[in-house]
Amino acid sequence: MSQTIATPDAKPLPALGALHIDPHSYPEGVAFLDGQYLPMSQAKISVLDWGFLHSDATYDTVHVWNGRFFRLDLHLDRFFGGLEKLRMTIPFDRDGVTEILHNCVALSGHRAAYVEMLCTRGASPTFSRDPRQAVNRFMAFAVPFGSVANAEQLQRGLRVAISDKVRIPPASIDPAIKNYHWLDLVRGLYDAYDRGAETALILDFNGNVAEGPGFNVFCVKDGKLSTPAIGVLPGITRRTVFDLCAEEGLAATATDVSVAALREADEVFITSTAGGIMPVTEIDSARIADGNVGPVTSRLMALYWQKHDDPVWSSSVSYP
């Protein structure tokens, strides 16, 4: 009648419910874990890892486009900065991590890839509550490139809702440490879906706009760009927008961005490694300006993708 689970010493334990069925629906890709390169479906960690139990982890995501990493150095800077702030150590230096990331991509064969490096606190052999006794665990993987916005949304602009959820304040977690504390963002997403929007923006502790699930936000008013300054992850794509604006002679500042300023903007876009620069044309069911993707956004999108072939901004992967 009831299922049994075999224990290592072969004593059967009664099953309390249906076994979790592994759907084997892993994306095609290659992971590096515990010194080995593995298919994604075999890259698994202990449920006792603090990364899983306490979100005690940091990570970074870089992308490969046309077989080239985009601004990998900046992602490595941010990742190693996070490790240091969280007092984590890994057995690889920058060159070692670079080599592992290259190998994951080359072995996966993907010419457009989403590449993640991460470190969890790990677990201690005694299940100690002292984080210093945990053995930190470094992992990396390369899967097909994914975007916050699909092709249709990139063309017509995203429909976004502003949730009243407040981003975890910087006094609690330094937002420069890229982290998995996403419950505020996920709750914001459900608010957005309930209101018929496609994604969410949430607020900072002062009630200004902060960021969304994995992306920063910009608005354009009278030809000038602004983006929230505090309580947000300093995105590499956000930084890239500043660099492109400097090249183009456009004014861009990091400052407070009120909800009203966002609604009254001429153009709004979001930025993420997962998708680049992505237009927003509707906020809380109201159009931004005339509801079309604006000229500054279109220009920056074009420049952003052009830079992916530039050896100053990108480095090639050598595939087998």
Ligand X SMILES: *Cc1c(COP(=O)(O)O)cnc(C)c1O
For the chain, strand residue ranges (E) read: 4-6, 12-14, 30-33, 36-39, 57-65, 68-70, 113-123, 135-144, 158-166, 199-203, 209-211, 216-221, 224-228, 252-255, 267-272, 276-283, 286-287, 314-316
Q: Extract the tokens encoding 88.
A: 């984590």
Minimum separation from the CB atom of position 215 to ligand X (A): 5
Contact call for residues 219 and 200 (beta carbons, < 8 A)? no
The whole-angstrom separation of Cα 99 and Cα 105 is: 10
Contact with ligand X (CB under 6 A): which of 108, 120, 208, 216? 216
- 236 is a contact residue toward ligand X (CB under 6 A): yes
Contact call for residues 282 and 262 (beta carbons, < 8 A)? no
Question: What residues from 60 to 79 belong to the interface with ligand X (CB under 6 A)?
Answer: 61
Contact with ligand X (CB under 6 A): which of 214, 228, 231, 294? 214
Going by their DSSP bridges, the two strands 267-272 and 276-283 should be labelled as antiparallel
For 55-96, strand residue ranges (E) read: 57-65, 68-70
Minimum separation from the CB atom of position 5 to ligand X (A): 37
Contact with ligand X (CB under 6 A): which of 211, 219, 301, 317? 211
Residue 132 DSSP code: G
- 271 is a contact residue toward ligand X (CB under 6 A): yes
Q: Is 238 helix (H, G, I), strand (E, B) or coil?
A: helix
Q: Which of residues 134 and 272 has its CB atom nearest to ligand X in the complex?
A: 272
Q: Which of residues 208 and 271 has its CB atom nearest to ligand X in the complex?
A: 271
Contact with ligand X (CB under 6 A): which of 188, 231, 235, 279? 235
Minimum separation from the CB atom of position 148 to ligand X (A): 9
Minimum separation from the CB atom of position 211 to ligand X (A): 5
Contact with ligand X (CB under 6 A): which of 238, 252, 280, 288? 238
Residues that bind ligand X (CB under 6 A): 61, 178, 211, 214-216, 233, 235-238, 271-273
